[in-house]
Amino acid sequence: MEPHALLPGALEVVHAAADEVMSRYRSSQSVWDKDEGGAAAEGHAKNPLTEADLAADRVLREGLMALLPEAGWLSEETADDPVRLERELVWIVDPIDGTREYVEGIDEFAISVALSRDGAPVLGILFNPATGQLLAGTAGGGVTLNGVSVERLPSRPTEGAILLASRTESKRGEFAPFADAMDVRPMGSTAWKLGLVAAGEGHAYFTRKPRNEWDIAAGVMLCREAGAVVTDLHGAPHVFNRPDPLLAGVVVGVPGVHEGVMERIAQVGTLL
C-alpha cells in the first residue's frame, strides 16, 4: 500500500493514541526514571517515562501494524527487535516526544510517527494534542497543518532568523555562539520543533548532539516536504532503520539559513 493511502488510517491511530495521552495530562500517574530505574520522585526524573508513554505506544503499535503487517517496528518505548533490519518498510515512532514537558504540564510535546522505506521516510505525522496542531504528509505529497496545505518555505538570510532551540541545551549555554545572528527561542521536544519549522513558525532547528531515529524521522520527512534543507551534522542526508538508531544530530533550515547555520557549526564544533 502506498503512503498516501496509508495516511488516513495512520491518522486515526494517532488520534486514538492522543486520547490516551490527554486523558492523563496534568493528572496523577506513575512516572519512572529511565536513567535511574524505578519510580521517580515527583518532578525529579532526568529521563522520565510515564503511563501515558506506554499506553500510547501500545495503541500505536497495534493500530499501525494492523495497517501494514509486513512492516518492521522501531519505537522509543518498545524493546528493539533486529527483525526490523530485514524489512523494506518500518514504522518509526515516539509515543510522546517531550515527555519532560508533558510531565511538567507544558504544551510542548508531540506524538511522532514516521514510515520509512529503504531508509528514507515516506510518511510523517506530528500531533501536539495539547494545542491541537497536527502536521501530516507523504513523500511527494506536501504537508498539511490541520488539513490545510502548508506553503513551501521561502528562502531568507540567516541574520535575524528564528532558531527553535532545546530548552535544556539553551540553559547550558550551547546556543550562545548563535545568539548574535539569530533569534533563539528555547522550547521542548525535538520532534515538535521540527514540526514548527515545517509549519513555517520557525526558520531553523539544530542540535550539535546525537539524536535517535524516533526523535526526528517524522520531522525530517515533513521539513523536507515543506522545502527546508535537512542534513545531519556532517551535511549528509539521514538514513533510517539502522542497526544503531542513534544518528549524528540534525540540522534543519529554510533555504539560505541552513547554509549559514552549518558554517557557524563548523566554527564552534559539534558535540558528537
**Confidence band (pLDDT; 50, 70, 90) for 34?**
confident
- At 87-140, the pLDDT tens digits run 999 999 999 999 999 999 999 999 999 999 999 999 999 999 999 999 999 999
pTM: 0.96
DSSP E strand boundaries for 98-170: 110-117, 120-128, 133-138, 142-145, 148-149, 162-166
Is residue 36 scored above 90 in pLDDT?
Answer: no
Contact predicate 13/60, CB 8 Å:
yes
Cell 510531565 belongs to 103
Is residue 45 scored above 90 in pLDDT?
Answer: no
Cα maximum dimension of the chain: 50
- At 160-195, the pLDDT tens digits run 999 999 999 999 999 999 999 999 999 999 999 999
What domains, with CATH codes, occur in the chain? 3-149 (3.30.540.10), 162-268 (3.40.190.80)
Average pLDDT over the chain reads: 95
Q: Report how far residue 225's alpha carbon sits from residue 100's, in angstroms, rounded to the nearest whole number.
A: 28
Cell 524493546 belongs to 79
Cell 520509512 belongs to 116
Q: Report how far residue 236's alpha carbon sits from residue 232's, in angstroms, rounded to the nearest whole number.
A: 5
- Span 50-56, average pLDDT: 97
Residue from 206, 260, 252 nearest 226 by CA: 252
Q: Which residues contact 132 (CB under 8 A, 6 or more apart)?
A: 146
pLDDT on residue 38 = 58
Instruction: List C-alpha distances in Å: 73 to 18, 66, 212, 230.
Output: 19, 12, 14, 24
Cell 491511530 belongs to 13
Contact predicate 111/56, CB 8 Å:
yes
